[in-house]
């Protein structure tokens, strides 16, 4: 008998199933704990924690690997969810128009500047979407009785990782909810990663660095000091 689309598979109560749920919970808690520790630890220790977090995520992902399709690395659902990219584009255009009106638009002045400034961020957007959907949402689905609860939980910890930034935290909460529910419907991480990159770059070029603190989170946000960044230049003032 098929289950309704909004209900997760029933959680078994056998010793084997309980042991598996315990392992999944442990993977989730340690993985998220290491990420938070990385965010809130000063350098040079932060670098070691970053590698430890990456090693934990990679190792536990390999051990619990459910197949590429289950974590969203598939062609199916890509075309059907392209609307997410178009919606992100509309939001980006609106934000850019507002930034032009208030003369807060800042952007690289050359193609090389765009690549150097945002190339790494674009790649990081794909990593973040894998972490959100392929790692944390996947595990919450196995821990919670309903997929909706899993989506809310994953979006919540995603937003919490952006504290104490008062701009990124609510933005990532909204995006996390949208991304998780879209993923549950279409099961493709690629459109979400593209939309993530588009929205993140929009935030970076439309909100002045000192206001969003160059999109820093955790200890980096608290210790931020506004530098002069030659890569981002203001747009010419409106006549």
pTM for the complete prediction? 0.85
Kindly tell me if the per-residue pLDDT of 13 is higher than 70: no
Q: What is the pLDDT of residues 136-191, one digit of tens each?
A: 999 999 999 999 999 999 999 999 999 999 999 999 999 999 999 999 999 999 99
Dist CA 23 CA 33 (whole Å): 15
Q: Domain coordinates of the chain in residue numbers?
A: 16-65, 68-234
* Confidence band of 232 (pLDDT split at 50, 70, 90): low
The whole-number pLDDT of residue 39 equals 97
How far is C-alpha 142 from the geometric centre of its chain's CA atoms? Answer: 20
* Alpha helix (H) residue ranges in the chain: 15-40, 45-63, 83-101, 111-129, 138-143, 147-160, 168-186, 190-206, 209-212, 218-222
SS3 231: coil
Average pLDDT value over all residues in the chain: 88
* Confidence band of 70 (pLDDT split at 50, 70, 90): confident
Q: What is the pLDDT of residues 107-131, one digit of tens each?
A: 877 777 778 778 889 999 999 999 9
Indicate the DSSP class of residue 216.
-
How far is C-alpha 74 from the geometric centre of its chain's CA atoms? Answer: 19
The whole-number pLDDT of residue 185 equals 94
Q: Say which residues have a Cβ less than 8 Å from residue 84's Cβ, sequence separation at least 6.
A: 178, 182, 191, 192, 195
User: Positive or negative CA dihedral for 127, 140, 151, 31?
Assistant: negative
The whole-number pLDDT of residue 234 equals 52
* Residue 15, number of CB atoms within 10 A of its CB: 8
Of all residues in the chain, what percent carry a pLDDT higher than 90? 70
């Amino acid at each position: 008998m098929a289950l309704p689309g909004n209900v997760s598979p029933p959680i078994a109560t056998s010793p084997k199933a309980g042991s598996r749920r315990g392992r999944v919970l442990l993977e989730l808690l340690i993985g998220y704990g290491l990420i938070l520790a990385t965010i809130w630890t000063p350098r040079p220790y932060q670098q070691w924690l970053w590698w430890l977090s990456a090693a934990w995520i990679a190792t536990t992902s390999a051990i619990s690997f459910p197949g590429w399709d289950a974590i969203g690395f598939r062609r199916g659902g890509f075309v059907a969810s392209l609307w997410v990219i178009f919606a992100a584009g509309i939001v980006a255009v609106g934000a850019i128009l507002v930034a032009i009106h208030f003369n807060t638009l800042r952007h690289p002045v050359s193609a090389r500047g765009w690549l150097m400034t945002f190339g790494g961020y674009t790649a990081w957007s794909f990593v973040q979407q894998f972490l959100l959907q392929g790692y944390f949402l996947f595990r919450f689905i196995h821990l919670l009785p309903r997929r909706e609860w899993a989506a809310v939980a994953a979006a919540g910890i995603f937003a919490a990782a952006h504290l104490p930034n008062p701009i990124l935290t609510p933005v990532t909460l909204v995006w996390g909810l949208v991304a998780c529910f879209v993923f549950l419907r279409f099961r493709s991480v690629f459109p979400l990663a593209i939309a993530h990159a588009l929205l993140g770059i929009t935030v970076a070029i439309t909100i002045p660095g000192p206001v969003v603190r160059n999109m820093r989170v955790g200890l980096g946000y608290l210790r931020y000091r506004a530098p002069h960044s030659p890569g981002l230049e203001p747009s010419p003032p409106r006549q």
